[in-house]
Chains A and B, each alone.
Chain A
Amino acid sequence: MALLFHIGRYFLLLGEVFSKPERLSVYWKRTVEEMDLLGVKSLGIVSLLSLFMGAVITIQTKTNIDSPLIPQYVVGFTVRQSTILEFSPTIISLILAGKVGSTIAAEIGSMRVREQIDALDIMGVNSAGYLILPKIIATALINPFLIIISMFLSIFGGWLAGTLSGIISSSDYITGVQYDFDPYIVTYALIKTVVFAVIIATVSAYQGYYTKGGTREVGISSTKAVVYSDVVILVANYMLTQLLLL
């Protein structure tokens, strides 16, 4: 019953979020600010993770398929496929759920317990729309760029680790990266990314918006935001994969 209650309230909140904005210019200004806060400021962690992720995939692939019957370029091919199909869109989105999701829940939760959301409501501002819509648009717009950067850096990280450690030649790796490339996998990855971005923004905002109590509850909301966003992302990942790849 509790689950149904939360699902129902989540969709009612979304109804409020997508109602007509009071001032488009104010909403757009907030969206740009959110793109900076939630997207651009995540670039550092995304870059670092992606470089190491590619490096680890390269080393693990090489150690697991060390057979004379399997061509060397398979390492580059595997890094590309696993990065584009799964690691960049899903793992990076799970990491972003931790960073961005907790930020969103903490910010909105703090505003709730400090009566700032009540202040917005009393002024006649649609608090749900004003606070949440710019975050949804910002993450849906900026996350695909983050993931594309992640893809490049992960593949580059793999090349760096492979060539520096000498386990694969640069030409073999690049051949593998270029081998049998189907651009649709990028489309698939970006569709997933946008869906995950919306999940992160809305689930986290929901947790923050309905925070009750004080600072301790804001912390609890942040934790819930990360956990529930991750769970929903994993379920959505399975469903989207079945829907788009099979």
Chain B
Amino acid sequence: MIEVKHLSKRFGTVEVLQDINAQFHKGKVNQIIGKSGSGKSVLAKCIIGLYAPEKGEVFYDGTSFATMDKDQRKQLRQEIGMLFQSNALFDSLTVMQNVMFPLQMFATMSESEMRERAQFCLKRVKIDGQGKKFPAEISGGMQKRVGIARAIAMKPKYLFVDEPNSGLDPQTSIVIDELIKEITEEFDTTTVVITHDMNSVIGIADEIFFIHNKKLWWQGSRDELMASDNQELQEFIFAGSLMRQVRKAMRGQ
């Protein structure tokens, strides 16, 4: 479990996050939603430790990130997998080498075992057979899958996913969402997904965290989300016509 306590972050004089408190549970898909520029990605980067918060703390299974020394942080990071919005695959490495990369840096296994593990991960995300290609030679959806394969290579306890559906067509988005859900359940990871894609939220979220006006404005499950009367949340969720129709259908109108 990841716990965020009283977290605040500012850049210069601009306050981005204010007193955020949240718990992200193991084996669940925890989705952080909010408008563009609301601070979702900043929150994720504070949790991972890429940004240092001004106030507050982040706890990984009860241990404060702030109190960890360099080696403990390094150890923790080997337990974190992350899929970036831009995929962040290494251009000069093939698909197979990208997935093998964290293993080569940290795992104590032979070259053939590493290859076997990478092969398993690629197979798990249904992209085996593409190992010899470079990231530039495969589609955006396939790159996402490679990103997920690399993220799970080290059998992570925590999985962070930043805007998994950006730049993808609706069909591929669903496939990627389902993959994230399956992997969360299969590997029992604490998964944190940053998104503003409501289809993804309706599709796979177990717990939803709505960031608005620098604060954690609302928190709840999918069913609670649809039933909520919170005005700002409603405005955000039902901004699209499709979602308005979903609400109508749910309310029997």
Mark A residues whose CB is within 8 Å of B.
Answer: 22-23, 26, 114-116, 118-119, 121-125
Chain A nearest Cβ from B174, distance in angstroms: 24
How many chain B residues sit at the interface, stated as a range, is 20 to 34
Question: Contact between A122 and B80 (Cβ–Cβ < 8 Å)?
Answer: yes
23 residue pairs bridging A and B, Cβ less than 8 Å apart: A22-B105, A26-B104, A115-B84, A115-B85, A115-B86, A118-B50, A118-B88, A119-B88, A121-B77, A122-B48, A122-B77, A122-B82, A122-B160, A123-B77, A123-B105, A123-B106, A124-B73, A124-B74, A124-B75, A124-B77, A124-B106, A125-B102, A125-B105
Question: Contact between B82 and A119 (Cβ–Cβ < 8 Å)?
Answer: yes
Question: Contact between A23 and B84 (Cβ–Cβ < 8 Å)?
Answer: no
For the complex with contacts A118-B88, A124-B106, 9 further pairs of A-B residues with Cβ separation under 8 Å are A22-B105, A22-B106, A23-B106, A26-B105, A114-B86, A116-B88, A116-B90, A124-B73, A124-B75
Chain B nearest Cβ from A215, distance in angstroms: 13
Chain B nearest Cβ from A242, distance in angstroms: 40
**Contact residues in A for B84 (Cβ distance below 8 Å):** 115, 118-119
Chain A nearest Cβ from B86, distance in angstroms: 5
Smallest CB-CB A-B distances: 4 pairs: A124-B77, A119-B88, A115-B88, A124-B74
Mark B residues whose CB is within 8 Å of A.
Answer: 48, 50, 73-78, 80, 82, 84-86, 88-90, 101-102, 104-106, 154, 160
Question: Contact between B85 and A123 (Cβ–Cβ < 8 Å)?
Answer: no
User: Whole-angstrom distance between the alpha carbons of A122 and B106 in the complex?
Assistant: 13
**Contact residues in B for A122 (Cβ distance below 8 Å):** 48, 50, 77, 80, 82, 160
User: Whole-angstrom distance between the alpha carbons of A26 and B77 in the complex?
Assistant: 19
Chain B nearest Cβ from A151, distance in angstroms: 33
**Contact residues in B for A124 (Cβ distance below 8 Å):** 73-78, 105-106
**Which residue of chain B has its CB nearest to the CB of A25?**
B104
Chain A nearest Cβ from B221, distance in angstroms: 28
**Contact residues in A for B101 (Cβ distance below 8 Å):** 123
